Chains A and B, each alone.
Chain A
Amino acid sequence: MSRNARAVGDSSPFVLAELMAWIKALGPYRWASNRLRSRGMTGRTAVISVPYLWLSLFFLVPFLIVFKISVSDIRLGMPPYDPLITWASAQVMELKVNLGNYAFLWEDALYRNAYANSILTAGISTILCLLIGYPMAYGIARSKPSWRNLLLLLVMLPFWTSFLLRVYAWIGILKNNGLINNLLMSMGVIDEPIVMLQTNFAVYLGIVYSYLPFMVLPLYTAIEKLDLTLLEAAADLGCRPVKAFFKITAPLTKGGIVAGSMLVFIPAVGEFVIPALLGGPGSLMIGRVLWEEFFNNRSWPIASAVAIAMLVVLVFPIWILQRVQGREMGAHR
């Protein structure tokens, strides 16, 4: 490369390289870099440590605080819980760990039902999303390449509007004097409004509607990668199309199915807004219980225990996800 071209075209990397060479020549830089390297600290660890630092600061530390609150006693005042460590006298430190909050969660049917109901609701919603999302993703992945980006854009389009607004919009659609009921009544199909708002139906509808894109996108990626000649090979060997779907397409897009299901299931378990706005008294979900414990009962320790228990419930599916994904990575080069 000529000196001229370097000066004009790649001026900034060139300058940067010069600068780096200059810094590297400095004594202090060399000293610091050697010291860090002797402790196993290279550029690579420095890069990796950034997300680790982020996660420990904004996930691990808050988690520990919440865990601490969950094992303390409730009290009136601010903050509304007893400290874990108190000084009985000048030398005696008292550590009080109250596991009663967790025992309470287990004993009270309200919480057990809320957990069971959350998992059930999230599970059914996930299956519904899968049943709706798979054909959608399949259709997009098999459409003309020029159409695909447009269709994907349409899947993601709702994200342009706030999640909360979209859920509120459903109230307007579903309520007794809302869009659907007014339309049906003006057409004379029904005489009385159908009660849809504040039912489980509305909760399922809300969750499926809100989380469908999270199902479609990973499924699309998985299906798009599927080699169509494999389906031809299956047909050639005497396999009918429906069977070929279950023998070839489904197993080879398993990664997408699992990822999509987790992306729907995990947030749906802890969902608060949708059951609060669209659900009725029957649709008791753990997110709502948590909210009520925290803001209505002002019982921070119970609310924290609810949160920690929910996390434990959710760790299991995440673990399955990681295992499946790990295996996929190993299997397909």
Chain B
Amino acid sequence: MANARQDHRSEPWKDPGATPYVRIDKITKKFGDFVAVDDVTLNIYRGEIFCLLGGSGCGKTTLLRMMAGFEAPTSGSISLDGVDVTAMPPYERPVNMMFQSYALFPHMTVQKNVAFGLHQDKLPKSEIDARVAEMLKLVRMEQFASRAPHQLSGGQRQRVALARSLVKRPKLLLLDEPLAALDKKLREHTQFELINIQETLGVTFVVVTHDQEEAMTLASRIGVMNHGEIVQVGTPTDIYEYPGSRFVADFIGSVNMFEGRLIEDEPDYVRVESEDLGGVFHVGHGVSAAPNATVWVALRPEKIHILRDRPEGEGDNRVAGVVSEIAYLGDQSIYLVRLAGGRQVRVTQPNILRQSGGGRISWDEQVWLTWDSSSPVVVTQ
């Protein structure tokens, strides 16, 4: 979904000459002895939707709050559009935030909530009214202008919060779990709305989320965080297809992880022998690791073919097993296949043909699993 959009987007992070819009330089934040954010360096470019993705307590919200100015970093600096904002209080930063709880002022109408930020800049009333009306129109809330926040539904409140944070035309918009409070259908719809609004206004977004699907849909790039550190930064495709570590591979989507030993190391391919698998992986990319080193092979469930008949010939990337569980989800089916060594492998297959009783793979059936040598990813940590 997101990938098609990225094709006609510039990718400034690939251009070594491009100046980052937000420059986070060696930021550390400690709360007492607890290190919430640990020496993070990050560049975000103009017009990006950058997602900070991680589990709870990984430091993503703290990092966002330091960008907003609510937390002062223990060390390091943040600059925005060439200006060092590290010591700037939140009310002076050209940054706005959309809060997870929306934080709408309960004693003000929708109109007054959105106008609040503009009033602080002492703009003339006519301009405030015009900009508020324009913003409410953008989020399709113009007919609710005189309502109080408690008279709105969750989705409507979310849109008011978005309008309020965008109306000041910030250089940077921070969104803290923007869609977490919405139900699934509304969330999907709102994701695309957010992307459209971002493209219309050209504001740089930094989104904090724990929902990898949300990050994949929204982001131009994702920064995966764990224990206060950024473990990998990349486009959604990079993160999913080329995870740099076991943590990232495991955190994004589901994955089968096999421990193994590097038995052949060539520039354009490697072979990994795995006891877990009871076979040999032939992986179509080089690895920077010593021969015989312990490595891990990550294999996505949807990249595995499940076959009844033994594949022709001999070779790597094939293994026999017995189907132990099947979950039919409609659009796809999940098979859990037990290998000879006892290891369970998760395989998903799209249900391209309508299933009608007979002919499909069933419980306790002997099957073969194969995959392309371009599918597995070897990670060394």
Contacts and interface: CB of A to CB of B under 8 A. Distances in A.
Interface in B120-136: 120-121
Contact of B168 (A229, A232, A234, A237): A237
B344 to A, nearest CB: 42
Given A230-B105, A232-B90, A238-B120, 20 more contacts: A227-B101, A229-B99, A229-B101, A232-B97, A233-B97, A233-B104, A234-B105, A235-B69, A235-B70, A235-B90, A236-B69, A236-B96, A237-B91, A238-B92, A239-B120, A243-B120, A247-B116, A251-B107, A331-B106, A332-B150
Interface residues of A, number: 21
15 contacts: A227-B101, A229-B99, A229-B103, A232-B97, A234-B116, A236-B70, A236-B90, A237-B91, A237-B96, A237-B164, A239-B116, A247-B116, A251-B107, A331-B150, A332-B106
Interface of A: 227, 229-230, 232-241, 243, 247-248, 251-252, 331-333
B105 A238 contact: no
B82 interface: no
Closest 6 CB pairs of A and B: A237-B117, A238-B120, A233-B103, A229-B103, A235-B90, A235-B91
B97 A236 contact: yes
| Count class of interface residues, chain B | 20 to 34
B68 interface: yes
Contacts, number: 66
A23 B286 CA distance: 87
Given A235-B90, A237-B168, A333-B150, A252 B107 contact: yes
A237 B92 CA distance: 9
Interface in B274-314: none
A230 B91 contact: no
Contact of A232 (B99, B104, B117, B150): B99
B148 interface: yes
A313 B161 CA distance: 46
Nearest to B150: A333
B105 A236 contact: no
A252 to B, nearest CB: 6
B121 A238 contact: yes
A95 to B, nearest CB: 53
Contacts of B350: none
A331 B68 CA distance: 30
B107 A331 contact: yes
B89 interface: yes
A252 B120 contact: no
A139 to B, nearest CB: 21
Interface in B22-60: none
Contacts of A227: 101, 103
A233 B99 contact: yes
